[in-house]
Amino acid sequence: MKVIGIDLSGPSNHKDTVLTVFEQLPNQLKLIKLLSDIGDMDIIKEINFQSEFDEVVIGIDAPLSYQDGGGDRPGDKQLRQFIVSLGMKPGSIMAPTLNRMVYFTLRGIKLTREIENLETKNPVSIVEVHPGAIIGSRLPPENFNYVLTYKQDFTARMFIRNWMMGQNLTNLPVSVQEESHSIDACAAALGAWHWKDKTFEPKWLHPANHPLHPYDYCC
């Protein structure tokens, strides 16, 4: 199985989009590729390429649906409550139809529908993830402050890279800690792995609700 983590940005901001490809080995995910500054066709080509060889599981950090009528989806409300209970700030969960979110949401929805239309040799599955919540829900209490600061703080990213390797994400280069988008793409893969692999389970899960919300949402 190949596990892909994607930290998506808005459609005009390719430089902040990062894709990681991990190979599942016994008791670990091994990083085999990291791509940054990429557009939709780059993402689609990589998914199509990896699906030639194996099943592909994709964790995407972006809204993959929106609430009819606007505002929060049920999953957004529940995840916000969950991260607040951990000690995280609620502001990282925003309604997909907020002005600052709409193009980001549009890209997530468009990209997933294009992935669904691929004629792949092996199965491809998609889950919406929240990297900060994936990290925060797994960090021990004495290290929790790192999830609150890693977006801005290099020392926190150094710690989280090392911690992720302790979570059996292997072969992570030092460059992963240089900026938060690479950390988030790796965390997205960690969440997707725990969602798909039956020996694990997500720390929080909101099941898909077809047809309006067609993907599971987890951390």
Q: Which helix (H) or strand (E) is 114 found in, with range?
A: helix 102-116
Using CA atoms, how far apart are residues 11 and 110, in angstroms rounded to an integer? 10
Q: Which of 139, 185, 202 lies closest to 19, judged by CA?
A: 185
Write out pLDDT tens, residues 107-117: 999 999 999 99
pTM over 0.85: yes
Q: What is the pLDDT along the chain (219 residues), one digit of tens a residue?
A: 999 999 999 888 899 999 999 999 999 999 999 999 999 999 999 999 999 999 999 999 999 999 999 999 999 999 999 999 999 999 999 999 999 999 999 999 999 999 999 999 999 999 999 999 999 999 999 999 999 999 999 999 999 999 999 999 999 999 999 999 999 999 999 999 999 999 999 999 999 999 999 999 999
Domain range list for the chain? 2-208
User: 180 is written with which tokens?
Assistant: 């938060």
Query: Residue 20's beta-bridge partner residues?
Result: 5, 34
Using CA atoms, how far apart are residues 121 and 63, in angstroms rounded to an integer? 27
Phi, psi of 95 (to 5 degrees): -60, 135
Using CA atoms, how far apart are residues 189 and 131, in angstroms rounded to an integer? 9
Cβ atoms of residues 36 and 15 within 8 Å: yes
Cβ atoms of residues 86 and 137 within 8 Å: yes
Write out pLDDT tens, residues 51-90: 999 999 999 999 999 999 999 999 999 999 999 999 999 9
Q: What length does the chain have?
A: 219
Using CA atoms, how far apart are residues 147 and 37, in angstroms rounded to an integer? 24
Q: Tokens 């599971």 belong to which residue?
A: 216
Using CA atoms, how far apart are residues 157 and 175, in angstroms rounded to an integer? 10
